[in-house]
Structure 1
Amino acid sequence: MQRLQGDQERKKEKLGRSLTDALKLVLLIGLVVIAFGPSYSYSLIRLLYGRKWSDGEATKVLQCYCLYVIVLAMNGTSEAFLQAVATKEKLKRSNGSLLVFSLIYVIANVLLIRSAGAIGLILANSLNMILRIVYSAVFIKEYFKESSSFAFRACMPGGYEFVLLSGVATFIVERMYLNRDSFSATFTIHFSFGLFCFLVSAFVIYQKERPFITKIIRFREHAD
């Protein structure tokens, strides 16, 4: 009995470390997208498709989609864990909750598309993902309540503050210096500042998360 209990505890510890790494990875990627995506959405569309599209709704849609990326990734990871370890009874309860969330999504979809168009569609999807993330988070907290192998705070990548600060800084620089009428000249300043912020953030994250990044690289090499 003690051996079986010990095996279960080791299994739960391994699951906790794996879930922490998975959530940390998607949060790291998502935070980078959130920090730099909205500030460079206009510039990207302007460079690829011209001013006709960048001055329209496309820029705002892409900015909102950058925010949607992180909730989509977090939901996929947390929900996959729930589906993998939950009992049949809890899976039935989860499916019932998903049905309720789907109904909320349909209602929000209709209302928000009417009032905000494509942006409303992204907001409705984001609301659906957030509800599902909260449900999965409650399950995960309950699953690890008697184990110290997992904590949500441990999922935040080191140096995330610098990434968010870079997002605020690039947003301010875009508003202050990027001129749509003199795009070619002012974009150089905007791009250079963003590149500098990205490199500083990458350096800080690497210094704080070197073991984690090394683990991901080795896992990738082993998978290949």
Structure 2
Amino acid sequence: MNSPQQTVGGALRGIASSVLFQLLQRSITFISNVIVIRSVGEEVTGFFHVHLQLLMNIVYFLSREFSRRTIMRKYTDNLSKGISFSLITIIVGLIINIIALPILYYQAPEMKYALLSYCIHSIGLFLELIQEPYLVYMLLTQKHIFRIYCELPSIFIRMILQAILISLYPKYALIIQPTLFALSSLTIFISYHHSIKLPQIDIQMISFKSLKSHSDNLWLFGRQTLQKFLLQEGEKAVLIVTTTLTIQGIFSVISNISSLVVRFLFLPIEDVSYSLFSKIRQNKDELLNAFCSILKIILHLSLLILVFGPPYSKALLDFLYKNEEFTNNSYLLIIAFITISTIAINGISESFFHATATDEQLNTSNNLMFLFSIIYVSLCIVLSKLFGPSGLFISNIISMILRAFYSHYNIYQLYGHLPWKKCTPTKLTLVSLFVVFGINTYVSYIFSTQSFLCLILGVCLGFIELLVIWLCDKPFITSLKMFWNERKSSSPYDN
């Protein structure tokens, strides 16, 4: 039987592989997008990052989330059944794709090649959906390293071609981008097929009889998925209905910078942590130890983002895009960095609660989550009319704070008071962060017209702060070293 340290150590290694993949993937994508945005302007940017992205998120989220939650709830110790059940994602995703495409196209602005762009993008989404059994395999076995081998080369080539072709032929951008996406998705599927040997697929796992036996979990996680989707993607729907394509482009650029941080840092941690919490939820001491360790990572990262993000927002936008429309709206990026921290803390809190709660508690949570989603969408509509795009970020902050408080209230009901001293940074670390924030603010003011120099100084201060954390938060560093150096825990699926 694996020791607590081995279990948490294996999870941390899984987090590291997943974070490494996200870091490389998002970095490549981000650089390519910067080049594309400089070539096509705000309107095409809005179409790519709001309209096509909303279609992608509708299909992915509504088809994947509920099935993965069910798998992690029921089949963490049965690889064959877990992968077989994941086939439901492909079926549901295809249906949602067919329904969502005409609805979103009806709301799309009049642009040349818009319909063709939607159709090609939709094909690419289907090619992504059929990768689901392989993604579930990696999730259950924590072999996230396959994503680096199979996906990164294809993504790298796709992003290079996208940057080159759209720069050369910007008027065909709406055709080039989705076509490269579809070809890349096909290549990745072929790579997974040749690299991963799946266990025997039991088609009966998605039969009507089987689905009926899972009806409670499917209904529970299905409602949870729909409500979570409204909370995460409601702002894009509000944007499409209430704003112009130019404003959508500006908002999407700001939002994507913050999304880069969330996606490559916090979402992998949340996904792998949910898997870990689900597996060890019967062992209270091990469970709380894992939660406090991961929560401490989240708090450190969130504070670093708040200390370095807002002071350098204007310099970052000026350096990346050389576009006055984006630079003049740097206040949006400041609010976005605050939003990131609330998303991170809420994400790990909900991950822990949902992995450990009873079905009755989850059902109650889902009912309240519906209320949260209504509040969030209502806030988006009202605050966007009052404050413009910044109202969407403010709505998100309020929503995340409410959800985090609710999750921690439930955690308290389940486990009592948490050992917060194990979760929070040391006093010296907090003091150093406060001092560095003041220095960052001064540097960004003095070098406001020299964005590159300003960012270089910020990077130097960042390394200094990391060194201070290394020296001042010894319990945290010692804990990470201990977990990481433990002998790799054996997987039940390695035989």
Bucket of the pairwise TM-score, normalised by the shorter protein? 0.7 to 0.9
- The answer to whether the aligner puts 1:205 opposite 2:472 as a matched pair is no
Whole-Å Cα distance in 2 between the matches of residues 53 and 217 of structure 1? 45
Partner of 1:214: 481
Match of residue 19, structure 1, among 273, 279, 291: 291
Counterpart residue type for residue 109 of structure 1:
C
1:127 to 398, 404, 417: 398
Distance in 1 between residues matched to 2:365 and 2:345, nearest whole Å:
17
Which of 157, 164, 186 is the aligned partner of 2:425?
157
- Structure 2: unaligned runs, 5 residues or longer: 1-279, 491-495
1:222–1:72: structure 2 CA closer, same or farther, 3 Å change rule?
A: farther
Residue deviations 1:126-165 (CA, integer Å, cap 9, x gap): 11111100001111122222x7xx3234211331331233
- Measured against aligned partners, the alpha-carbon deviations of 1:48-96 in whole angstroms (never above 9, x if no partner) come to 1115144321x11111111111111111111011111111221111112
The aligned counterpart of 2:447 is 178
Alpha-carbon deviation of 1:197?
2.9
- Given candidates 290, 300, 307, the residue that maps to 1:35 is 307
Counterpart of 2:410 in structure 1 is: 139
Q: Distance in 2 between matches of 1:104 and 1:11?
A: 36
What is the CA distance between 1:25 and its match in structure 2? 1.0
> Can you list the C-alpha shifts for 1:153-197, whole angstroms capped at 9, x where unaligned?
42113313312331232113323x1243xx26xx53x44543443
**Is 1:55 matched with 2:55?**
no
> Once the two structures are aligned, what percentage of the paired residues are identical?
26
Task: Determine the structure 1 residue equivalent to 2:366.
Answer: 95
> Per the alignment, do residues 97 and 9 of structure 1 end up closer, same or farther by CA in structure 2, a change over 3 Å counting?
closer
- Does the 8 Å CA contact 1:206/1:213 hold for their aligned counterparts? no
Cα distance in structure 1, aligned partners of 2:303 and 2:314:
19
Q: Distance in 1 between matches of 2:396 and 2:300?
A: 21
Residue in 1 that maps onto 2:170: none
Q: Is the 8 A contact 1:31 1:164 kept in 2?
A: no
Which aligned runs of 4 or more in structure 1 are off by greater than 4 angstroms?
215-219
1:73 to 344, 347, 351: 344
TM-score by length of 1: 0.81
- 1:92-139 deviations in whole A, cap 9, x for unaligned? 111121111111112211111112222111111111111100001111
Evaluate the alpha carbon distance shift between residue 17 and residue 119 of structure 1 in structure 2; reply closer, same or farther with a 3 A threshold.
same
> 1:24 Cα deviation (Å)?
0.9
In the alignment, which residue of structure 2 is the partner of 1:3? none
1:91 to 1:179, Cα distance in 2 relative to 1, 3 A: closer
CA distance in 1, matches of 2:394, 2:281: 40
Kindly indicate whether residue 433 of structure 2 is the aligned counterpart of residue 166 of structure 1. Answer: no
Evaluate the alpha carbon distance shift between residue 61 and residue 137 of structure 1 in structure 2; reply closer, same or farther with a 3 A threshold: same
How many residue pairs align between the two structures? Answer: 205
Structure 1 Cα separation of the partners of residues 438 and 342 of structure 2: 20
Between structure 1 and structure 2, the one with the greater Rg is: 2
- Give me the whole-angstrom Cα distance separating, in 1, the residues matched to 2:285 and 2:297: 18
SS of the aligned residue for 1:113 comes to helix
Partner of 2:22: none
Q: TM-score, normalised by structure 2?
A: 0.38
SS in 2 for 1:156: coil
| Residues 107, 13 of structure 1: alpha-carbon distance in 2 compared, 3 angstrom cutoff | same
SS in 1 for 2:287: helix
In structure 1, distance between residues paired with 2:285 and 2:431: 28
| AA at the equivalent of 1:178 | F
Q: Separation in 2 of the partners of 1:144 and 1:32? A: 29
Report the Cα distance in structure 1 between the residues aligned to 2:483 and 2:399, rounded to whole angstroms.
30
Letter in 2 for 1:95: N
Distance 1:168 1:140, change over 3 A: farther
